[in-house]
A and B are shown apart, each in its own frame.
Chain A
Amino acid sequence: EVQLVESGGGLVQPGGSLRLSCAASGFTFSSYSMNWVRQAPGKGLEWVSYISSSSFTISYTDSVKGRFTISRDNAKKSLDLQMNSLRDEDTAVYYCARVFFSGAPLYFDYWGQGILVTVSS
């Protein structure tokens, strides 16, 4: 059974940092591209970042470029998101999501349960 379990969320002050992790199990982690998707309270889904299976290709949504860093450790089957210079508008539930890839990333077939990040003074 595929499982994605996020950890590392919590309350942080504006300008602070937080590191999210996603532990994967039930599939060959090193064969899949992974993503972070977030959802602000009462709002829609927003894609945050993508990392290919080998970490060769990485991309971010414009609002987090230069502040967030996605990484992965295929040996440990883990995905991370280092979030620096956090802003109020980064408050959201953050989901780790596996993406099915066929020549290009396509759809998110498995999602974690989500972890809440609250940026507030």
Chain B
Amino acid sequence: SYVLTQPPSLSVAPGKTAIIACGGNNIGGKSVHWYQQRPGQAPVLVIYSDTDRPSGIPERFSGSNSGNTATLTISRVEAGDEADYYCQVWNSRSDPSCVFGPGTQVTVL
């Protein structure tokens, strides 16, 4: 089965940039999506199809995907960005199987 890796945690100062990596075998050939989950809340989509931002998500959130690593970048980090972030892909068209990364807890110092 397909496995995604993420760093367990990341600390960043306000105003700085957070870069969260999502690793997977040839993940550049897949469409990667990112979710933000604050404590006690349902996940929220922040980046879809590698680089696209849903309406209502600040431009500070951006994504990229190439080779074996996809990344979520949060620029000018704010206190409200403190949350868990998960990457996600689908593994098969004929027998759909979804995979989430283990999640990265982002702490704003």
Q: Which residues of A contact B (CB under 8 A)?
A: 35, 37, 44-47, 50, 57, 59, 61-62, 95, 100, 103-109, 111-114
Contacts and interface: CB of A to CB of B under 8 A. Distances in A.
Interface stretch (B11-19, B21-29, B43-51, B69-77): B43-51
Nearest to B93: A104
Contacts of A50: 96, 98
Contacts, number: 64
A103 B86 CA distance: 23
Given A107-B49, A111-B42, A47 B86 contact: no
19 contacts: A44-B100, A44-B101, A44-B103, A45-B100, A47-B97, A47-B99, A50-B96, A50-B98, A57-B96, A62-B1, A104-B90, A104-B93, A106-B33, A107-B31, A107-B33, A108-B45, A109-B45, A112-B42, A113-B42
Contact of A45 (B45, B86, B90, B96): B86
B95 interface: yes
B54 interface: yes
A15 to B, nearest CB: 27
A45 B49 contact: no
Contacts of B96: 50, 57, 59, 104-105
B103 A47 contact: no
B90 A61 contact: no
Contacts of B88: 45, 107-108
Nearest to A112: B42
